Structure 1
Amino acid sequence: MSGREVRTAMDSPSTDLDFNNSFAKAQQLSGVSLSSFLATLSTSLALFSLEVLVFFAIRGRFPEIYASTPETPTNKPTKSIATWYTDFVRFERDRGHLDRYFFQRYVRTLLLIFLPAALLITPVLLPTNYINGKAAKLGVSGIDTLGWSNVGLDHSDRYWVHLILAFLFIAHVCWILWNELASYVAIRQNSPSTALRTMLVDAIPGCWMDEGRLASQFSVFPGKITAISFNRDFRPLSRLVSQRDALARSLESAETRYIREMVTSARKRGGKPSIRRDLIRPPAPSRNLRGLLAWLEQERVDTILYYRRELRRVTEEIELKRSTPENFLQLPSAFITFEDPLAAHMACQTVIHTNPGYMTPRTLPTSVDDIVWDNVCITWWERNVRTVALNVVIVALAMLCVVPVALIGLLSQIIYLTRALEWLRWVDRLPEWSLGLFQGVLPPVLLAVLVKAFSAALQHLVRKQGFLLCFLFLQTTLVVSLSAGLTSIANEVASGRSLTATLAKNLPKASNYFLSYVLLQALSVGANSLLRIDRLVARLFLTPVFDKTVTQKLVRQKGTDIQWGVFLPVYTNLACIGFLYAIISPIILPFQVLVFALFWAIYSSSSIILTERDSGGLFYPKALNHLFAGLYLMECSLTALFFLARDSQGEAACTAQACLMALAIPLTAVYHHLVRKAFNPLLIFSPTTIGDTLPFRSVKPFTFEPRALTSASVIRIPKDDLGIGSNEAAQLREALKSTPVLEDEATITSSGRITLLK
């Protein structure tokens, strides 16, 4: 096709009509239009209200889900504004469980950051951006008229206000973070963690694999060493324990099924139960063809008797191996218990060996759950190889998510795509309310589903915090921000408009998408936490279908403990989004205040935070340091936007502001370095100055033993009116000897339904 033919095709009446319709629609719905925003707000509020109503309606019917934990008087609902203010500002809460305490404090910290900013920045910048702005005649309408992109071309001097407020916001955040880190150090140094005196050390050289030689290396520290316990390779024993647990669950299932059939049969026969027990063919002696043929020829045996016999055999084998732990391979790692807690803290911070990799890492675990026992037996170079391989897998997984995340960002600006893609022209004919759902509700929902899937995959790879936040920050913030503005930028540049002016006008429009995202996340996460939707679904649907034994019901009712590495990054990412758009789109600040005020109201009760383990709040300083990422991105974005700002003559209007904002980036980095240098040595370990004032010097040290040495399988039998369960429990105790058998935790009705008693 020639150039003339191309020109003619582009200038055809139908093309002009389509372009005008699309442009008019885009003008009406620039960025995420008011209708999109209202659609998101109404949908989120409707779902939130529904979940809250359901919570108040059913919480009395499910006390096992919504039972409150005992609260101290400081956690009771406040009765006046004065007491509420004292509770919020001074935060005088019970510190018995530091993980709960510091999560509540983290939500309070984010609220303290955004509340003053919303009171100062929003009232100043909204009229600054709106009055005498570009407005619809230059392609800015809807919510965009309240943001950066609406500043009038003849009023570029107003950007000085943005610069000053940006500096004030950065200083405010830095001040808050310093104070919170100082408070964390003060609280932690007066907590039981200061009395930890058992150190785990890995990669011990072969010449030190003796208690006497190893103790001599730590004799320079105050006090004496009270115990040294070398770890051993208990993996063969762990496999036996897993086999024992599987047999115990199978036996409990067979016993429960037999009791259920007996009681239901008795109801049908007028109190005379009559039922045959299940039969089972024992496993094949080998996995080859000969073993399979032998298995097919075997006689079926009583299922319950078979599992009883196998469980007793495996249990006796476990007890025999436990009685001689010295027969297991000794590993180059050990637990060293000091008499003085300060000696343990000093040993963890001292260089012990001259060769790299040896005697590292050295940690002070707070509980047995902090230790991944399968990793105790690996060498230092194996640990490094695993770390590199894991990082490669996670990065590759995150890169695969770039395309769907970018498509979600494009979906939030779908009205602009109709000008570039012929097959999307049908979008122009949709009513405004449906476009609002397309652009405002659907993208945040899809993004939330994608993040949930990624976090679920990540939990199978790592157990520590850090990777998920990187994914959230890069994908949901950066990629979405760029892709959301890409469509409008490409269309306007193709129409012959200036690239710099187009970038300055359209890049801030991505902020409107995050209004929808923040609202949807806040209301959905808040309502789900209040309603405990995962446990409710498990109680109503999963338990009746899948849980047939007492143990299965107890495990389901208890639920899973909070994984801080998955739970906390969601809130950090929401805060970073607020940092990024605090100046670009100040309307987001009041919504951030509402979001974190909602979280504060929900999580102010410790019973909402479902966790039993207590790491001493170790996630708190890490989360505070992660907030600096939001500051860096904010400063880089403002620097770029200042450079892109143009006046009515098309000339650069904010070079001075851009240079000053660019200077803030290294200054923030220097401040961040000073913060880490000042606080990092104090975050985990205790200084020697508190040695004489330790309030927990008499705390008994923990005993760290792997589960393979300490665990025991428990068989739970439900009680019934006919005494069948009690009879089976007595037979089990006689047959199994050392295996605990409980019958006081549940009952079974004549219809076969199991009800927990606790």
Structure 2
Amino acid sequence: MTHFFGDGAIRVWPVTKPEPLQTLVSERDALVDKLESAEAVLVHKANSWKARRSIDGPRRAWVSYYDIPDLVKLAIRLRSKPKVFPLSRVINDLLGIPYSKKEDTIQSLRDQLKEKVDLIEEMRKSHQIEEPYGAAAVFVEFKTQTEAQRACQQVASSNPLALVPRYIGVKPNEVIWENLTIPSVRRISQQGIANLIVILSIVFWSIPSGLVGVVSNINYLAENVEWLHFLNDLPDPVTGLLSGLLPPLLTSLLSKDVPTLFRNVFRSFGGPTTTVNELKVQKWAYVFQVTQVFLVTAVFSGAATVVSQLAQHPTAIPALLARQLPKSSNYYLTYFIVQGTTSAADSLLNYSNLVSHLSSEYLVDETPRQKFSRYTNMKGIAWGKEFPKFTNFAIIAIAYSCIAPLVLGFAAAGLSLYYLSYRYNLFYVMQPEIDTKGQAYTLALQHLLTGVYIAELALIGFFGLRQAKGPSIMISVLFIVTVIYHVLMNRYISPLEKFLPADLVSSAKRDDERTPLLSSAAEEGRSPRSALVPSPVAKHVIKPTVRFFDPHAFTSYKFMKAWIRDEEDYDDMEACEAPEYTDEELKRAYLHPALTSQTPVIWLARDAMKASKNEVRENEECGLKVSDEGAWLDERRIVYWNVADFEKVPVWKKAVKY
């Protein structure tokens, strides 16, 4: 630790690869779900009118599961055939051994679960870290943020692939454990393959995107394609729907699931954390949106009238594109309104999720755990999927701002509708699935410059075709200045987004994390500069100019601190102390979940017939943890659980916020 990470490293978690143990843990959790489902069916049948009617004589007044005749108890229990492997089946046939009869499903699941639990405990006791063979990973805890930043930025080894890639501030729930112990050479090759798959997907998506652009120009198709002449006979409302409403809907449908495809590709090909993969998804989804939803669709939509002339007059392509490209703005006028009214309204109404929730609540979820999981998990939102869509909206508006300024109004209307729907959902309905720590937002802001590039290139082409030398030179210079600005911004600002600058940490109190990033000494050193403005000219001319080019020189630490204290939620911020962890929580923080996950408690619903009490007793006799607290069956035999007090729910555990 000291050799690679310095004296600031205080704890290390080496990443192991317990694949057999991980498989057993997955099988154990699946058996718990199956056992709970089988128990739920038994409790449901025990409370049926048929089971109650089987109780005779004076016992009917008690209406208890223990009073049900044994034959009825056997009838309501699930039974299944034991699994017979193909080799065993062949041997039994050769030896003439008859197949086993159906066995009790619940008891069989209990035995299998107990066997898995015992096997997992034995493997954990005998688990050892194997030889990594160049495929090792490690988590390191440091005393201070300063030490962690220094270790992350330094060159740790002469081997260029050692401790690369490295990430800081990774939470345990962001780790993709199966992708950590991949050899460096294999990781690099898999990343290349993943990028190749994504690029090919974007390229081949041009075919359906181009067809959508052609369909949007239905009048030209009806006049120039012989077998489509019948389109001229369609009523005007139908023609308007086909040319105006259908293309934007098809475009939205084609691009809807592309980010999910990209996310699965990056996860399958070795992405180590969900945050890293999500940022890759955002970058490539942005490329897809700009190329397919904007450029390909715009070119084909505007150039549909000139396809037949391209082969005959190839030299006229620049002039024809200059004349036809602005016409595709009509398509995006409809696109913004359709997206704003349909997608935003769908997001606000959320009828699909409502129907899914209700149907699952009464038709699918049959165990208390299933209902608990559905109730406590909010609808997720992935920034890698959301940001590119709205970034492309802004890029299209900026690109057409000089060609067809009317697009700006429609874009503002569409984005305003989206704002209202997302504002409500982010407050009450959605929760981010992946925490990008603000990187997704800054990445989206950088992508907006694409709209400026496209607008400037379009103007260069238009002025060049019109042989307007003066405007062409001005726009060309502006384009070069934009490129230089973009390069310099990325060069000097990008490191500040990834790492904490060393000069913002007080060297005198390096071990004190509460030391302000801008000390009073820094403020005192800058205050005389703001005082050297005695005359009115200097006050109104020099000071604003210097403030613009050197704003941090006039940033007062006391002023910023007072401004923060004026916020309404400052008291809440002061009340939020740093979380304290137990020794066990620190020990388990970055261990593989297969080494630390406990056997889930079997959760049953309490019923009036007390069948759950009998099942609790039988499961405990088998050495399994089980409870029927916090959930019950009502008179209609529908499962409910205590949503008012989570602490009474057996499966609820207070999450550790690392």
- TM-score tier (shorter): 0.7 to 0.9
CA distance in structure 1 between the aligned counterparts of 2:92 and 2:436, rounded to whole angstroms: 50
Pick closer, same or farther for the CA change 1:500–1:278 going to 2, 3 Å: closer
Give the structure 2 partner of residue 619 of structure 1.
Answer: 440
1:735 aligns with 2:519: no
Question: Tell me, what secondary structure is at the counterpart of 1:468?
Answer: helix
Structure 2 matches for 1:186-197, cutoff 5 A? none
Pick closer, same or farther for the CA change 1:632–1:253 going to 2, 3 Å: same
Answer 1 or 2: higher relative contact order, Cα 8 Å, separation at least 6.
1
* Distance apart, 1:653 and its partner CA: 4.4
1:637 aligns with 2:437: no
Pick closer, same or farther for the CA change 1:365–1:238 going to 2, 3 Å: farther
* Distance apart, 1:246 and its partner CA: 1.1
Q: Is the 8 A contact 1:224 1:338 kept in 2?
A: yes
Q: Is the 8 A contact 1:229 1:336 kept in 2?
A: yes
* Distance apart, 1:513 and its partner CA: 0.8
CA distance in structure 2 between the aligned counterparts of 1:315 and 1:362, rounded to whole angstroms: 35
List per-residue Cα deviations over 1:39-61 (Å, max 9, x = no partner). xxxxxxxxxxxxxxxxxxxxxxx
Q: Is the 8 A contact 1:576 1:627 kept in 2?
A: yes
CA distance in structure 1 between the aligned counterparts of 2:92 and 2:408, rounded to whole angstroms: 68
* Distance apart, 1:475 and its partner CA: 0.6
Question: Tell me, what secondary structure is at the counterpart of 1:561?
Answer: strand
Give the structure 1 partner of residue 79 of structure 2.
Answer: 279
1:755 aligns with 2:640: yes
Q: Which runs of 5+ in 1 are unaligned?
A: 1-213, 645-651
Pick closer, same or farther for the CA change 1:743–1:616 going to 2, 3 Å: farther
TM-score by length of 2: 0.75
Identify which of 357, 360, 367 aligns with 1:539.
357
CA distance in structure 2 between the aligned counterparts of 1:658 and 1:689, rounded to whole angstroms: 45
1:227 aligns with 2:44: no
Give the structure 2 partner of residue 658 of structure 1.
Answer: 472
Identify which of 341, 356, 380 aligns with 1:561.
380
* Distance apart, 1:708 and its partner CA: 1.1
* Distance apart, 1:327 and its partner CA: 5.2
Q: Which amino acid aligns with 1:746?
A: A
Identify which of 475, 480, 488 aligns with 1:674.
488
* Distance apart, 1:256 and its partner CA: 0.8
Pick closer, same or farther for the CA change 1:624–1:304 going to 2, 3 Å: same
Give the structure 1 partner of residue 533 of structure 2.
Answer: none
Pick closer, same or farther for the CA change 1:229–1:581 going to 2, 3 Å: same
CA distance in structure 1 between the aligned counterparts of 2:612 and 2:400, rounded to whole angstroms: 64
Q: Is the 8 A contact 1:284 1:291 kept in 2?
A: no
Q: Which amino acid aligns with 1:310?
A: Q
1:530 aligns with 2:317: no
Q: CA RMSD in A?
A: 2.9
Give the paired residue count. Answer: 533
CA distance in structure 2 between the aligned counterparts of 1:551 and 1:245, rounded to whole angstroms: 12
List per-residue Cα deviations over 1:440-470 (Å, max 9, x = no partner). 1111111111112323323322342322221
Deviates more, 1:300-309 or 1:414-423: 414-423
Question: Tell me, what secondary structure is at the counterpart of 1:460?
Answer: helix
Give the structure 1 partner of residue 273 of structure 2.
Answer: none
Identify which of 740, 746, 750 aligns with 2:631.
746
Q: Which amino acid aligns with 1:655?
A: K
Pick closer, same or farther for the CA change 1:687–1:291 going to 2, 3 Å: farther
Structure 2 matches for 1:569-580, cutoff 5 A? 569-580=388-399
* Distance apart, 1:383 and its partner CA: 0.5
Identity of aligned residues (%): 27
* Distance apart, 1:291 and its partner CA: 6.8
1:550 aligns with 2:437: no
Give the structure 1 partner of residue 272 of structure 2.
Answer: none
1:290 aligns with 2:77: no
* Distance apart, 1:539 and its partner CA: 1.0
Q: Is the 8 A contact 1:418 1:427 kept in 2?
A: yes
List per-residue Cα deviations over 1:426-452 (Å, max 9, x = no partner). 111111111110011111111111112
CA distance in structure 1 between the aligned counterparts of 2:391 and 2:92, rounded to whole angstroms: 56
Identify which of 365, 370, 373 aligns with 2:177.
373
CA distance in structure 1 between the aligned counterparts of 2:326 and 2:613, rounded to whole angstroms: 70
Question: Tell me, what secondary structure is at the counterpart of 2:15?
Answer: strand
Q: Is the 8 A contact 2:174 2:434 kept in 1?
A: no
Identify which of 42, 46, 61 aligns with 1:258.
42
Q: Is the 8 A contact 1:420 1:491 kept in 2?
A: no
* Distance apart, 1:301 and its partner CA: 1.3
Question: Tell me, what secondary structure is at the counterpart of 2:595?
Answer: helix
* Distance apart, 1:258 and its partner CA: 1.1
List per-residue Cα deviations over 1:645-691 (Å, max 9, x = no partner). xxxxxxx3433323322333332121111211222112132122332
Give the structure 2 partner of residue 218 of structure 1.
Answer: 5
Give the structure 1 partner of residue 249 of structure 2.
Answer: 445
Identify which of 431, 443, 453 aligns with 1:610.
431
Pick closer, same or farther for the CA change 1:742–1:584 going to 2, 3 Å: farther
* Distance apart, 1:633 and its partner CA: 2.0
* Distance apart, 1:743 and its partner CA: 3.0
Q: Is the 8 A contact 1:416 1:491 kept in 2?
A: no
Give the structure 2 partner of residue 419 of structure 1.
Answer: 223
CA distance in structure 2 between the aligned counterparts of 1:216 and 1:494, rounded to whole angstroms: 67
Question: Tell me, what secondary structure is at the counterpart of 2:404?
Answer: coil
Give the structure 2 partner of residue 706 of structure 1.
Answer: 592
Q: Is the 8 A contact 1:416 1:487 kept in 2?
A: yes
1:521 aligns with 2:339: yes
Question: Tell me, what secondary structure is at the counterpart of 2:181?
Answer: coil
CA distance in structure 2 between the aligned counterparts of 1:422 and 1:285, rounded to whole angstroms: 63
Q: Which runs of 5+ in 2 are unaligned?
A: 54-59, 267-276, 507-511, 517-577, 644-658
CA distance in structure 1 between the aligned counterparts of 2:184 and 2:597, rounded to whole angstroms: 29
